[in-house]
Structure 1
Amino acid sequence: MRGERRRQAQVRYDDAAEVLVDAGLVDVDYVAAQLGTTFASAQEAARAVVDAGDVSPHPLFEAQWIGRRRSWQRLGQHPALWYLSERRRRNRIAPHPLFDPRIVFAAYPEARHHPYGALSYWLSVTGPGAALPTRILPKKVSWGTYRAAAIGAAVEWREEVVRERPELVGPAPALPATLGTSPAVTVVMATQDEGPLVHETVASLQGQTFTDWHLVAVDRGSLDDTAAVLQGMAAFDDRITLVRESRCGHARALNVALEHSTAEHVAFLPLGREWLPGMLGEMLAHAHESGASAVLAGVGSVGRSRVELLAGRPVDLATALVRRAAIKDVGGFDETLGGSVERDLLLRLTRDHEPLAIDVPVLKRPDPAAPGFGDDWDSVVLESQLVDWDAAAARRHSEDLVSHVLPLGTEPRRTVEWLGSVPREGSELILVGVRLRRAHHVLAASIAAVISGARFVSVPASVSTSAATNIGIARAAGATVVLVRPEAMPPRQPIAERLADVVRGGEVAVAQPLVVDLDGVILSAGARFATANPQPDLFLAGLPTSDAVRIGPCEVAAPASPLVALRTDTAVALRGLRGRFHSVLAETDLGLRARQAGRGRSVVVPDAVITSRTAYAAADALIGAMTSLRASALTPPPDRAAELLVGAGLEVTDQRNRRVTVDPEDRSAPSALVPELVVRAIEGIHESPPRLRWAVDIAAPAAQRGDRWGDTYFARSLAEALERRGQHVAIDRRDARDRDSRDLDDVLLVLRGLDRVTPRPGLLNVEWIISHPDMITPDEVAAFDLVYAASTSWSERVSREWGTPVEPLLQCTDTRWFHPDRAEPDTGPALLFVGNSRGVYRYAVRSAFAVGADLTLHGNDWTEFVERDQIASGGVANQEVGVLYASAGVVLNDHHLDMRRDSFASNRLFDAAACGARILSDRIDGLEETFSGLALPFDNEHELARLVQPPYDAFPDNEARRRIAMRIMAEHSFDKRAETLIDDAVRHLLDRR
């Protein structure tokens, strides 16, 4: 039976290799570069790919790029085979960031029917000179150029990260015939949210030539599949024990693992590290021969003696073997320290006994001191203490260049996003990779190689984010440097030049943007320090971004941001980020040191905004970093928070402390008290004119996903009109509607679209129904204090039927962008439609194409319904749409079915009418009364065909249309609607009091 299964497996193995070859997805040179060997044929290389697992068969295929859901793992397939077999989904999957199947299908429609998909087809019909089908690169790059870069990157990865150096291994003493305990070594591992690293790391342990070991892996409450993967491996190897703990500090997890150990010696294996096969055997042999309490191995900069440790050499416990009794004697790891717990343990261990230092490699990494390696890297690549700051200070820096330094996180997509977002003119991007996995390393290095202004620096040793940042600072060529942590998302609008302008004057040392979370709520506007509490607080955290904009650029005690800008000479003079801060509060410490050194102050720039993918810091990391910040004894400037908040219409009523703890259920868990301001809104209703705080709630999602929604444009114009009348307005997209700071507002104005919103107790709750009347129910309307609807007839009917007053308030237009002077009439497209498809073949567009009209179509998501050459663009900036409306022969419009039935006139009607455009729309009540002949209905295609023909006799002439447009602007502007809303809100609030 077993033989039969082996035979079937071999058949599948051979079939898999043949499929890869047939699909043209085996690049022999690329596979050879990754595996460090040569192949006689494509079939041989394909078999090696299937056998190796984590090896890419082709430079334009990368498993890490085709989605988070690893379906091939569940099926036991190689990812390339899974991709080739997924015919239904494959055409929608990009197998690589530089290969977009949509571009291929546009150029080669027949590629949709290729048995192996767009990539295989494209490779079969193009050559090395063909431009890569991608939108990421700023200019065209040939396939041959990128292929050479990818092969070079794979060779470098193998040389720097994987290559073993057996010629450097000295002879090890023989192991004694009997060892003191069995198992002889307990291997300790602390894990948290690192599931993808489990298999490779544990496999390097299972591959040891010495097999009498016991692995104790303590999972620190992982939110991903880390614990599940370890549990699965433990089910097949009884030498593995998984211990589950709640979220806790790294030192606590290591101590828990030590409590479960029974062996005489202890070794430490962090996830993401891999031992050479002889590591445990050689280390144990040295330990028994010498009797040393600690054996420290490794070459290059790793500290292997007490003198080296005290001098600041980096500590790497993955290269250590320690007697368990010695660890017990010194009390284990110090759980009160936020960082450097490994260094602290070794310093206590070596206080009385010098460790045995052996100069042999035990990790799968190169020797930085070996010939041919250190010449190119000098000492910059390993740890912040080894950066040659004097050499960095001597470098010439260009005033015309802004250098971005980005240490890479674990997600390749984030790296590619930054590669595609940094402006090429006047900017450079330095990517610093720390012991990256193959996929991430090759992607970063190869794409950076073909993008002007991008550089990739690989660090084969395990160093902190701060140390990696310092390595990038030392290589910066620009006079301004922007330091970026991996959690910072690329800004939607370029902000580097804006921040650079702030720090160029000399009075400002560090500038940070406004930091928001994924919901669009402020995460940090810098750090503030209370007089009675040395811990930092995040200024403006939890408030809407509009409050920061009202305050404007301002001085803060120090930055608290995953992205900061400063002069490169300042960063070099301060010796970069301090190693005691792994990442959290590193920028805060930098800003305080800059101020103390007389380099200038720290400033937050609220019109520059970035989004952080994560909360500012996990509790354990924050507590440790605050301990280090306290120990630095830096003096922050006086707190100006109360003064600044007045500019946002807020006043401070009290200060309190908030407890941050690793485990809220355990009072003995590490914790810290963080200062927190208690604020309230300054009452403005009795001012002249009255001033209120408004929260405008819309259904659009946060960030770039919701930027193109019509609700977003509508809310922005309304907010600006309200603010021109002295109001304070925050726009909350659906993700931010539960922010706690809404309690500081006076009015909640819901622009009712797709989402039903629950009124906020204590506020004046106002609902303006501008679309989707079918979704409105009587109980929803009854829950609000004031209700408006963008339809006169519907308002009258539901008021009568439901017994709740609903006031008519039609949609409107922004007269700054929509007016008849935007363009000369009839100088633009003959027939125009501007709008997204919304997933349906819209009535107006379908009718226009059915009659053969010369329609100019702008909008997203139309390719499912019309040919690509029938789409003029994917969208037009809202400020420029008025130019098209004013110049068009006829503007087309239509409505959702329920809006048409209940006569909810769309915003497009008011925009086009304000431009004096001729408008054809589906029929709704009130067109003539509101638009005076500018908007005519059409009931079928024949009417449409007649009405779109010049000379447009059914419409008023140019002069009459201009007069009507001026009336529309006067009666149906956002400013007019803002007056109504303010008057009604003030009246109701005064009546309530």
Structure 2
Amino acid sequence: MRGERRRAGQVRLDDPAEVLVDSGLVDADYVAAQLGTTFDSVAEAARAAVAAGDVSPHPLFEAQWIGRRRSWQRLGQHPVLWYVSERRRRNRIAPHPLVDPRIIFAAHPEARHHPYGALSYWLSVSGPGTPLPTRILPRKVSWSTYRAAAIDAAAQWRDEVVRERPELVGPTPALPATLATSPAVTVVMAAQDAGPLVRRTVASLQAQTFTDWHLVAVDRGSADDTAAVLQGVAAFDDRVTLVREGRCGEARALNVALEHGTAEHVAVLPLGREWLPEMLAELLAHAHHTGAAAVLAGTGAVARSRLELLSGRPVDLATALLRRDAVKDVGGFDEGLGGSVERDLMLRLTRDHDPLSVDVPALKRPDAPQPAYSDDWGSVVLERQLVDWEAAAARETQEDLVSHVMPVGTEPRRTVEWLGAVPREGSELILVGVRLRRAHHVLAASIAAIISGARFVSVPAAVSTSAATNVGIAAAAGSTVLLVRPEAMPPRQPIAHELAEVVRGTDVAAAQPLVVDLDGVVLSAGARFGPDSPHPELFLSGLPSSDAVRIGRCAVAAPAAPMVAVRTETAVALRGLDARFHSVLAETDLGLRARRAGLGGSVLVPDTVITSRTPYASAEELIGALSSLRSTVHAGAAPPPDTAPELLASAGLEVVAQRNRRVCTDPEERTAPAVLVPELVVRPIEGIHESPPRLRWAVDIAAPAAQRGDRWGDTYFARSLADALERRGQHVAIDRRDARDRDSRDHDDVLLVLRGLDRVTPRPGLLNVEWIISHPDMITADEVADFDLVYAASTSWSTRMSREWGTRIEPLLQCTDTRWFHPDRAEPDTGPALLFVGNSRGVYRYAVRSALAIGADLTLHGNDWTEFVERDQIASGGVDNREVGVLYASAGIVLNDHHLDMRRDSFASNRLFDAAACGARILSDRIDGLEEIFSGLALPFDNEHELARLVKPPYEAFPDNATRREIAHRIIAEHSFDKRAETLVDDAVRRLLARR
């Protein structure tokens, strides 16, 4: 029967355990390790996994990895059922970080048609010694090796986390496939005069993985915009209902909300509270599994039993789920009480039975704004029990080893990114987990166990991030520790050993990289202190990273970054990070204490860059951390004299004033906690009258930030242009599209837009220049009219549109970077016979399609070609731009083509100039001006017959080698980035002087 269903490609969804067994996605030993039991059969293990809820049935299947939306929970399905029934989507989903469906399909194309998906097929044809189908591991690891590690990690989690928590009521069970009512939960809210809190509070509800809820918000006659904000939310989410009442008590408002609800269960969400995304789903699963009238998340020092209620412990209904009929039976909230209505209701609800207390994380933050880690000294005490600093000081370390120490955050994907990114030579990664949930603990521990140089350390106590970091420092084997917070993304290029070299220097205690945000704008270049404030400012925050690079390596008062390098002996001598700091400013405190102890200062290394996923600190975190930092400063760890004015001057900026910026937890509330943070006021140094003139340029491109935009041609073009401008004494920042709204653009003189896919709004007060290098069909008359200077990479188009639009457009052709493109890069005719270097851009490009149609011996380098050509026809996914010139100079013929609008309007591509500068023979689609510009190096072909004739050696249609070399030198002289930079600077200076 099971075989018949598999052959028919059908999946039964009525029996989850049977489907688990059929699919092969049950490992009895792995399930047993998580539940702390044993099973007599696979079927018994499958039934136990389904009944337990949050238990993974197989080491290579993890529901929490599949996606954040948790679609199976919305549908009330078991995650394996949802996965195996997804069909086409399933083939694109990785059920585990070490399972890449693309690798399975490449080796086994028939796996696409397996009724249970790629993983089930792979397991059916693999043995214990089969390597895992993954790309993130540095070496091949067998399936049996990982299975053993996963089982050990699951058993460790149960021993260290579960068994030490007697209040835990089993793993979260699965939600039933169908619920008694829809919506299943009525969320009630009493709102009054709290408009600024509405969006954030409701957003935490809308972010719930369980989505079948109904919010009834009762406005108690608010005098502010609370009702209006709620009405706006309701207009875009039909699950939200606003009920307007006059001024009334909270109990009355909640009873009114109850009357508008129809769900089986009720939850209370006060304004200012924020639920974690899984809370409703987990509480509802427990409620359905037990039938309890009240389910309480075991969060904080709150009452969990009737006895505790009677003894006076606080009640928190924001972490509870109640049966609606039970609430109605006891009369709802008592409107005659002036306060303590929550305690009164719970006492009446629990008259006969204790509430069910479950260990479910519920809230993002407490009610009132306060430091991110309120029990600071509790962490200090716990840390003393966890870390033996004397033993750490006595241990020998390896001089050439750098130990990355990272407390594990809340997101498993970030942990896996680090596991796959840390260099294996000369580095180790120590992950420190603090009472992690099952999925995250098992993933981190099992993957770390199979990667050389990675270790996972579990901390049984709930401690701060700083205390967890100290546990890792004490376990480090390297002579240098790199302290990493979870918000730091792995750097695109290895930087650990460069930072380690800096802290090995004399009088250096700590070194930090340049920290940028997701848009590529500087977030922190260290901490600076003014003469009259104990509070630090993030140096260079908001400026482009090019300013930091221009300043170069320099001393800073203290580090302020989610990644800091410290000598291990220094960290141990200082007893690590102060555990009172939850996370932010802990490294600043460490740097100040190191300086006071005579262990050295702090250094910024701007040519090492990391990206932070989040801002440096929230207002609550910063206010709490600053109170602890003041004690460090007052204890004698005063910062060094401020050198920021001198450093900024080297970047072309002068300090004109210093002011204080108010950081507040609630800007609308005058009594809310707040601090004053110093802030430098800067302006650009006027360099236009210098000789040669020096301006600040912002080069705007359409490429996205980070790795997504690194392979764009616009990015290479902008870098080469920026280098050429810098060689002429200019200060240049490259702003990708995510960073074009940075405030610090007001310090620039010139905004140069390299017009690609995006239209950019000119910046008032700057000289706004547009250089149209592609996509002329996207340009309009009103766009060019807004700019002070306009160039276009086509002579004919510039002339025609200047006449039609009445706006002067100067021709300025594309060009080449002569550092990488010149005829001496390689011997002619020693490389590929026919070459194309470029990405597909989602289309089967004309040049490639034509070459393959005639059966030419084409060498193809570039991304996104697998949709159009076979994998074995792709030489590589791309070539470093600095090495492309070697291919061009050695090739028999280089192929080129253009976008249709560029071809029609004769916008000669950058590839033409690069190849011509190498003296290459070029075949291109036809545009005007090929002969005039390239003197016979670039010939057009109009069809496949012409291409077939021209690609045959001895290439009689092209000049000989000596002539091609002469033409290449002319191209270099006339069409280099340096030549274009000369034009741009001269025109900009002339226009700015005329304006002034």
**Aligned residue for 1:406?**
406
Which of the residues 926, 949, 954 maps onto 1:946? 949
Say yes or no: does 1:843 pair with 2:846: yes
> Structure 1 residue 380: deviation in Å?
12
Instruction: Give the match for residue 961 of structure 1.
Output: 964
- In the alignment, which of 785, 808, 818 is matched to residue 782 of structure 1? 785
Unaligned runs of 5+ in 1: 1-10, 170-196, 204-213, 249-266, 295-322, 325-332, 347-378
1:505–1:342 distance in 2 versus 1, CA, 3 Å: closer
1:413-448 alpha-carbon deviations (Å, 9 max, x no partner) = 100111111100000000001111111111111110
Q: How does 1:752-901 map to 2 (within 5 A)?
A: 752-901=755-904
CA deviation map 1:229-254 (0-9, x unaligned): 59779976878532112799xxxxxx
Q: Which residue of 2 aligns with 1:686?
A: 689
* 1:385 Cα offset (Å): 5.7
Corresponding residue of 1:338: 371
SS of alignment partner, residue 684 of structure 1? coil
Q: CA deviation at 1:200?
A: 9.1
Q: Is the 8 A contact 1:200 1:272 kept in 2?
A: no
Question: 1:64 deviation in Å?
Answer: 2.0
2:746 is the alignment partner of 1:743? yes
Distance 1:342 1:572, change over 3 A: closer
| Distance (Å, rounded) in 2 between the aligned partners of 1:439 and 1:846 | 47
Question: Does residue 243 in structure 1 map to residue 270 in structure 2?
Answer: yes
Change (3 A) 1:46 1:273: farther
Output the CA distance in 2 between the equivalents of 1:91 and 1:340: 43
Measure how far apart 1:702 and its partner are.
Answer: 0.4
Residue identity opposite 2:962 in structure 1? E
Cross-structure match for 1:658 = 661
Provide the C-alpha distance between the structure 2 equivalents of 1:46 and 1:430, rounded to a whole number of angstroms.
34
Over the aligned positions, Cα root-mean-square deviation in angstroms equals: 3.2
**Contact 1:137 1:451 (C-alpha < 8 Å) held by counterparts:** yes
Q: Is the 8 A contact 2:54 2:173 kept in 1?
A: no
Matches within 5 A, 1:41-190: 41-163=41-163
Q: Distance in 1 between matches of 2:387 and 2:155?
A: 26
Q: Distance in 1 between matches of 2:410 and 2:202?
A: 16
Shift of 1:115: 2.2
The offset of 1:282, in angstroms, is 9.5
In 2, are the aligned partners of 1:382 and 1:459 still within 8 Å (CA)?
A: no
After TM superposition, give the deviation of residue 944 of structure 1 in Å: 1.1
Q: Aligned match of 2:204 in 225, 236, 254? A: 225
Q: What is the Cα deviation at residue 69 of structure 1?
A: 2.2
Deviation string for 1:145-166 (max 9, x for gaps)? 1111111111111111112687
Match of 1:712 among 712, 715, 718: 715
Give secondary structure in 1 for the equivalent of 2:271.
Answer: strand
Cross-structure match for 1:481: 481
* Amino acid in structure 1 at the alignment position of 2:580: R
Q: 2:369, 2:665 within 8 Å by CA — same for their partners in 1?
A: no
Deviations 1:720-771 (A, max 9, x none): 0000000000000000000000000000000000000000000000000000
| 8 A contact 2:404–2:483 mirrored in 1 | yes
Alignment of 1:420-569 (within 5 A): 420-569=420-569
- Secondary structure at the aligned position of 1:140 is classed as coil
- Separation in 1, partners of 2:314, 2:810: 83
Whether the 8 Å CA contact 1:837–1:859 is kept in 2: the answer is yes
How far apart are 1:792 and its partner, in Å?
0.7
- Structure 1 residues 247-286: aligned runs within 5 Å: 280-281=304-305, 284=308
TM-score by length of 2: 0.81
Report the Cα distance in structure 1 between the residues aligned to 2:76 and 2:370, rounded to whole angstroms: 43
1:585-664 matched pairs, under 5 angstroms: 585-632=585-632, 633=634, 634-664=637-667
- What is the deviation of 1:386? 3.8
2:671 is matched with: 668
Q: Deviations over 1:695-732 (max 9, x none)?
A: 00000000111001000000000000000000000000
Q: Measure the CA separation in 2 of the matches of 1:752 and 1:645.
A: 30
The aligned counterpart of 2:238 is: none
* CA contact 2:153–2:446 (8 Å) conserved in 1: yes
Cα distance, 1:646–1:293 mapped onto 2, change above 3 Å: closer
Measured in 1, the distance between the counterparts of 2:532 and 2:381 equals 41
TM-score by length of 1: 0.82
Question: What is the deviation of 1:114?
Answer: 2.1
Q: Aligned to 2:141, what secondary structure does the other structure show?
A: coil
CA contact (8 A) 1:14 1:47 kept: no
Deviations along 1:578-629, whole A, 9 cap, x unmatched?
1111101101100000000000001111001000000010001101111111
- Contact kept? 1:217, 1:240, Cα under 8 Å: no
Q: For 1:108 and 1:827, how far apart are their aligned partners in 2? A: 37
Distance 1:755 1:165, change over 3 A: closer
Distance verdict in 2 for CA 1:200–1:78, change over 3 Å: closer
Deviations 1:516-540 (A, max 9, x none): 0000000000111111222111110
Q: 1:689 to 1:802 in 2, by over 3 A?
A: same
Pair 1:399–1:472, CA change in 2 (3 A) = same
Contact 2:419/2:429 (CA < 8 Å) preserved in 1? yes
1:979 maps onto 2:982 in alignment: yes
1:69-122 alpha-carbon deviations (Å, 9 max, x no partner): 222121111222212111121222111111111112222222222222221221
Q: Secondary structure at the match of 1:533?
A: coil
Q: Distance in 1 between matches of 2:702 and 2:314?
A: 63
Q: Could you say if the C-alpha distance between residues 901 and 645 of structure 1 is closer, same or farther in structure 2, counting changes exceeding 3 Å?
A: same
CA displacement, residues 378-437 of structure 1 (integer Å, 9 cap, x when unaligned): x99953564110011011011010000000101011001111111000000000011111
Distance in 2 of aligned mates of 1:121 and 1:342:
50
Change (3 A) 1:536 1:910: same
Preserved CA contact (<8 Å) 1:551 1:645: yes
What SS does structure 2 have at the residue aligned with 1:547? helix
Give the conservation status (yes or no) of the 8 Å contact 1:380–1:386: no
Q: Give 1:284 shift.
A: 3.8
How many residues in Structure 1 have an aligned counterpart in Structure 2? 852
Structure 1 residue 50: Cα displacement: 2.4
The whole-number CA distance in structure 1 between the counterparts of 2:103 and 2:994 is 61
Structure 1, 155-164 or 405-414: larger mean CA deviation: 155-164
Q: Determine the C-alpha separation between the residues in 1 that align with 2:681 and 2:128.
A: 64
Q: Does structure 1 retain, via aligned residues, the 8 Å contact 2:372–2:620?
A: no
| AA at the equivalent of 2:403 | S
Residue equivalent to 1:921: 924
Query: C-alpha offsets along residues 535-557 of structure 1, whole Å, 9 cap, x if unaligned?
Result: 11111000000000111111111
Aligned in 2, Cα 1:484/1:37: closer, same or farther, shift over 3 Å? Answer: same
Question: Does 741-750 or 500-509 show the bigger shift?
Answer: 500-509
Residues 729/615 of structure 1: CA separation in 2 closer, same or farther (3 Å cut)? same
Counterparts of 1:238 and 1:913 in 2: how far apart (Å)? 73
Task: Describe the SS at the equivalent of 2:605.
Answer: strand
**1:341 Cα offset (Å):** 4.1
